[in-house]
Structure 1
């Protein structure tokens, strides 16, 4: 099952204005924002509903990938297994398994770049 999806845009401000307006009639709005200072790279805006962000918009250059897809893992061991299998299948590391507390205290994810450079993640939100 998909957990969330993200896109990279050339102008975050312009994209924010567009998605704020376009998604509002669907009951989707900004749930979370993560600054560039927190990520150490780009700023991200998380759109969603009921307190859960599931559509992310962020800035970035050509080396950040244009698409990010995150799959739900049943537990942290599933995240670890995803990372190991993806790396063995030719993926490139984009963030090893571990906690990402800047999202929330139990966010445990792993990131790999697929053969085309797309950012693929497995994530578990459950406590250890």
Structure 2
């Protein structure tokens, strides 16, 4: 469905450290890292797309996290949700909702919410039952 998701950041090096840790906990692979541009992108092991990209805003104006916008990453199991959330908080992120079941979405929705150091809202979610995700 998606070609890529682009998230703007203000301090590229800080953001790269944050996202490298979170992407590593999700098992996503770094596809490119060009600090001089500056931008970086990750993809899943299954192929080149979709990409998740961080960079300074393309138009050169200051970064402004959008209200009501969020990028949600799929996790294979609940332990991965927990690891990604922990990694995010250890690397400058801020909690927006700890790992846990959210039955208001569906019976097996297990997610965690956090913001990156620039205020962009992120989610990591597993949609599998506990037995299947263990």
TM-score, with structure 2 as normaliser: 0.47
Q: Which has the higher strand share?
A: 1
